[in-house]
Amino acid sequence: MKMSSVSIESTTSGPYIRTAIDDLPPYSAGRSVRDAAGEGAAARTLLGLAANEGPYGPFPAATAAAAKQIENANLYPESGFRSLRRELAEFLGVDVARVAVGAGGIGLIHHLSVALLDEGSNIVTCTPTFHAYALDARKQGATTRTTPVRADGSYDLAAMLELIDERTRIVYVCNPNNPTGGIVGRQELLDFIDAVPASTTVVVDEAYFEYARSAGYPDTIADAAFARPNVVTLRTFSKAYGLAGLRVAYLVGSEALIGAVQKVQSNYEVTSVALAAARASLPDTEELARRIELNADGRRRLVEALDRLGFEPLEPHANFLYLRPGDGKAFAKALEAEGIIVRPANAMGDPSGVRITVGSPDQVTETIEALTRMVNASS
């Protein structure tokens, strides 16, 4: 029997693809030791400090829980991620209906974009910043309006207010900001939220919350003043908890926003192994505090060394430092020649800057030695 073909005149030879994603660049990840080895660098020992990963691996309890859970990998993860959501709610002192869990902060930013951004709408951010916001906006056919960060690398909230219009669906506040490390304070953030229209969602991205310890840095989950219908906070297990490879993060916000994210996310997107590791990590506040202390110490040593070498890094508040040597790519290339891979900030909107992750104490020593060699080689 002959099948009758559907008679639609096709003007192209392939499948229909939304024009919104024409020319969409792929997510640009920090260069890894694996990437360098693939280019033949295997003979040298390289240290990867380009992705702001925690340097210590998972917490011991998380490793044990993940190993045990993998024995049940034939079973689907818990539907709705209820146990981790309940334990996070308890840990954070909020109602469980205000908590969503997803496959990394990147996954949750994607879901917020799908849930909130129509074709022709816009988002407001600062530059340079985490580039997933603008990429995900583009996928939805939305545009990005942006203004430079302040001199200290923090989001310029006053300038952002000027960019908001009736089509603005999301304003991001990356706090501390990646890659510059600057922070906005509690009162200015509250004043900003007061001034944002009720129909615009404020996403406070606190991927580096655990590392930020300055007085005045807001805790937008514990502080009830931030519990507003149009505010949501993002945190992740990828950084201070050392679980970047397992992909698990969470949002805390109004029930309306959390419900919207849960509608668009896929049911089993966080694996059972990731859920087990995250649940085992949460109670170990001592291990978290130990790692935060080590980071603060390494950060201080790196600032001193960079100052001594004449680079004037911005004041850091997370697990990385930011400097503007003029040509971020050239700086990264020269430092890689000394064995350290760091992240030029061009993909995040600042070709003049470079970001260096704070490693373990030994890695900090290695970084300082490599920086010193690099400077000596060029003088």
Residues of the shown chain interacting with ligand PLP in the complex, contacts defined by CB under 6 A: 52, 104-106, 130, 174, 178, 205, 207, 236, 238, 244, 249
**Nearest-approach distance from CB 84 to ligand PLP, in angstroms:** 14
Closer to ligand PLP by Cβ: residue 220 or 236: 236
**Nearest-approach distance from CB 193 to ligand PLP, in angstroms:** 19
**Nearest-approach distance from CB 205 to ligand PLP, in angstroms:** 5
CA torsion angle for 149, 153, 155, 157 (degrees, to 10)?
A: -70
Separation CA 173–CA 158 (nearest Å):
12
CB 274 within 8 A of CB 280: no
Closer to ligand PLP by Cβ: residue 27 or 376: 27
Closer to ligand PLP by Cβ: residue 234 or 334: 234
Q: Identify the CA nearest to 288 among candidates 249, 244, 328, 237.
A: 237
Separation CA 218–CA 363 (nearest Å):
30
Separation CA 217–CA 240 (nearest Å):
17
Alpha helix positions (H), the chain:
33-38, 60-69, 82-92, 104-116, 132-139, 157-163, 186-195, 255-264, 272-281, 285-308, 328-337, 361-378
**Nearest-approach distance from CB 102 to ligand PLP, in angstroms:** 9
**Nearest-approach distance from CB 363 to ligand PLP, in angstroms:** 18
CB 374 within 8 A of CB 335: yes
- Tally of residues, the chain: 379
**Nearest-approach distance from CB 89 to ligand PLP, in angstroms:** 19
Structure-token pair, residue 79: 């539907």
Closer to ligand PLP by Cβ: residue 246 or 374: 246
- Which residues, in sequence order, are CB contacts of 5 under 8 Å at separation 6+? none
**Nearest-approach distance from CB 12 to ligand PLP, in angstroms:** 35
Closer to ligand PLP by Cβ: residue 130 or 311: 130
Closer to ligand PLP by Cβ: residue 161 or 244: 244
Closer to ligand PLP by Cβ: residue 218 or 334: 218
- Which residues, in sequence order, are CB contacts of 194 under 8 Å at separation 6+? none
